Structure 1
Amino acid sequence: MTRTYFVTGTDTEVGKTAVSCALLEAAASAGLSTAAVKPVAAGCDDRGQNEDALQLMASMTARLDYDQVNPVALQPAIAPHIAAAQAGRNLQASRLAGLCRGVMMAGSDLVLIEGAGGWRVPLSSRETLADLARELGVGVILVVGMRLGCINHALLTAEAVRRDGLPLAGWVANQAGETMSCYPENLDTLRRWLPAPLLGEIPRLDPWNARSAAEFLSLQALIGK
């Protein structure tokens, strides 16, 4: 049975891709086949490829073409709806959902759909990435960047996810930068207030390695193992 989750974050640059790769590595270590999709990516190299999408491809077990993993690759590293408008493209949640379902139906045990930025990042003047998650009707994994302000951002995101009718399947505490002041107290507050299981705490790793990060995660709440 394929289990699919939408990965969002409390903000941009909180480590959504890093955590997604770690989740994929943890699932593979548990003997599961995995795939991932970065439906929209803004910020590409000269080949028109996005680094986040390439990292996902390196960590998943499925062998997919780049265009399947990242169907919409926008050149400038700016908000997706602005980049799309500059390129004369119209992003639609229903269209993106169809592209995601193509990967979801390929038979992998675990599929991750990684968003861009936070929950309400616009796709167009009428839709946001939250509409894509709603189209897919899947559970949401929240990556919390452990830094000042994260409690407010995390609780507001969790509230928005619930109001959009989707379950918050779990969350990950990710230290993307220096350890925040009063880290244990902040983590305890999030554990008490967020209505979902903590999948793990990933410390700052230098150098970063997805397989090493996977050791700090538990997938029991996601896959029942």
Structure 2
Amino acid sequence: MPSGFFVTGTDTEVGKTTIAAGLLHAARRAGLTTAAVKPVASGCEVSAQGLRNADALALQAECSIALDYAQVNPFAFAPAIAPHLAARQAGVLLSIPALLAPIRQVLDLQADFTLVEGAGGWRVPLGGTDSLSDLAVALGLPVILVVGIRLGCINHALLSAEAIVADGLQLAGWVANVVDPQASCLDEICATLEERLPAPCLGYVPRLVQVSAAAVAERLTLQPLGLPR
């Protein structure tokens, strides 16, 4: 049956897209059809085709179902600032209904494995009093948490997991992504997270010399998500 997941992170710049692209690649390699949505993205660049976001393009490249860029990234903004601030500057209100509609169109394509990637962490603001977590709740998808492994990540990871569960969603799994290879006690940090996070670890991704979806996929497993690896 088709499976969809919401991907969030412990913070911004923790490698959510790197991990999401790796998960999509692993699913494709296992013979599954794939689709992805990054509903809102800031820090987009101007191109002949319009605003384009590097993260959204990376996800689009790992979709086995052909999707137009606007389907993958329906709300794109140029300023490299928080999405709600970028949207405000553009005169756009990021409401939950406005974001839900394009996401559900992609989910309705019934890919075997669909990822919806958030922006930043769990409580990133949208328009009004809404947050990206409200979008995840409205979708009702199980959540994959990307933990940027560095000093302080244990607290960020545990608080994020608590918030996800408190919001009534399933934490389906988490990924350890090393963002600071110079941090002390990397193995001990990951061991602590495995002991305390209420979900299986889907993989440990070290700092890679050459980052690619294929290289990341080698370090991930889909089996805890109920999918073939």
- Asked if 1:67 is matched to 2:70, the reply is yes
Separation in 2, partners of 1:29, 1:88: 41
Q: What displacement does 1:12 show?
A: 0.3
Distance 1:177 1:62 in 2: 34
Equivalent position to 2:92, from 81, 89, 94: 89
The match for 2:134 is 131
CA distance in structure 2 between the partners assigned to 1:97 and 1:125 by the alignment = 16
Counterpart among 100, 105, 117 of residue 103 in structure 2: 100
- What's the RMSD between the two structures over aligned residues? 0.9
3-state SS in 2 of match to 1:224: coil
Corresponding residue for residue 43 of structure 1: 43
What is the aligned partner in structure 1 of residue 59 from structure 2?
A: 56
Q: Which residue of 2 aligns with 1:19?
A: 19
Deviations 1:115-166 (A, max 9, x none): 0000000012310000110010000000000000000000000000011100
Q: 1:221 aligns with which of 203, 206, 224?
A: 224
Count of aligned pairs between the two proteins: 225
Output the TM-score relative to the length of structure 2.
0.96
Runs ≥4 in structure 1, deviation > 6 angstroms? none
Structure 2 match to 1:10:
10
Match of 1:170 among 173, 181, 189: 173
Partners of 2:127 and 2:162 lie apart in 1 by: 22
The 5 A counterparts of 1:132-171 are: 132-171=135-174
Aligned mates of 2:110, 2:196 — CA distance in 1: 35
Is 2:112 the counterpart of 1:109? yes
CA contact (8 A) 1:21 1:60 kept: no
Structure 2 gaps of 5+ residues are none
Give 5+ residue unaligned stretches, structure 1.
none
Q: 1:105 to 1:218 in 2, by over 3 A?
A: same
- Alignment identity in percent? 56
